Amino acid sequence: NAGVTQTPKFRILKIGQSMTLQCTQDMNHNYMYWYRQDPGMGLKLIYYSVGAGITDKGEVPNGYNVSRSTTEDFPLRLELAAPSQTSVYFCASSYFDIQYFGAGTRLSVL
């Protein structure tokens, strides 16, 4: 039982490039989340999903897109990367309000 798995762990992007952050969970949780964590700030919700085919915006969705074609996978897409998207990204899934976090993806946009 791997829990929540995120790939890659680290990535450096050039301004304007695109990439997909992968997130998969093997706990059959319906609820999944993407957060970003900036230095000295609390985690902020980017997007969330309550089940396959259903996604919605969180507090800071601009510059990102998500999809949820299966219960297991919840990828986060960055289009036209900008320096403001330099952050650590966490994927999480939840069951009865307990959230399980992935190990994070550290992204730098230069």
Partner 1 sequence: KNEVEQSPQNLTAQEGEFITINCSYSVGISALHWLQQHPGGGIVSLFMLSSGKKKHGRLIATINIQEKHSSLHITASHPRDSAVYICAVLYSGGGADGLTFGKGTHLIIQP
List residues near partner 1 by CB under 8 A: 31, 33, 35, 40-45, 48, 50, 56, 58-59, 88, 90, 97-101, 103-104, 106
Rounded to the nearest whole angstrom, what is the least distance from the CB of residue 16 to partner 1 in the complex? 27
Give 15 or 50: the residue with its C-beta nearer to partner 1: 50
- Centre a 10 Å sphere on the Cβ of residue 24 and count the other Cβ atoms it contains: 20
DSSP codes joined into one string, 5-17: EEE-SEEEE-TT-
In whole angstroms, how far apart are CA 83 and each of 17, 19, 109?
11, 14, 5
Backbone torsions φ then ψ of 6, nearest 5 degrees: -115, 140
Rounded to the nearest whole angstrom, what is the least distance from the CB of residue 38 to partner 1 in the complex? 10
Give 27 or 88: the residue with its C-beta nearer to partner 1: 88
Rounded to the nearest whole angstrom, what is the least distance from the CB of residue 110 to partner 1 in the complex? 20
Rounded to the nearest whole angstrom, what is the least distance from the CB of residue 104 to partner 1 in the complex? 5
Give 78 or 104: the residue with its C-beta nearer to partner 1: 104
Question: For residue 97, how far is the Cα from the chain centroid?
Answer: 18
The span from the CA of 86 to the CA of 88, in Å, is 7
Give 82 or 88: the residue with its C-beta nearer to partner 1: 88
